[in-house]
Amino acid sequence: MISRQTIKMIPPQLRVRRATVDDLPALQSLWASMQINAVGLESRLTEFQIVEADQTFAGAIGVQFIRTAARLHSEGFTDFAIADAARQLFWERILTLAANHGVFRVWTLENSPFWTRW
Report pLDDT for 7. 46
**Per-residue pLDDT tens digits of the chain, which is 118 residues long:** 444 454 444 567 999 999 999 999 999 999 999 999 888 999 999 999 999 999 999 999 999 999 999 999 999 999 999 999 999 999 999 999 999 999 999 999 898 889 888 7
Report pLDDT for 11. 62
Number of neighbours of residue 77 by Cβ within 10 angstroms: 19
CA proximity to 63, closest of 105, 24, 28, 33: 105
Strand, helix or coil at 29?
Answer: helix
Report pLDDT for 34. 92
In whole angstroms, give the CA distance from residue 20 to residue 47. 10
In whole angstroms, give the CA distance from residue 24 to residue 94. 21
The domains of the chain, with CATH numbers, are 14-117 (3.40.630.30)
Report pLDDT for 45. 94
CB 90 within 8 A of CB 51: yes
pTM: 0.86
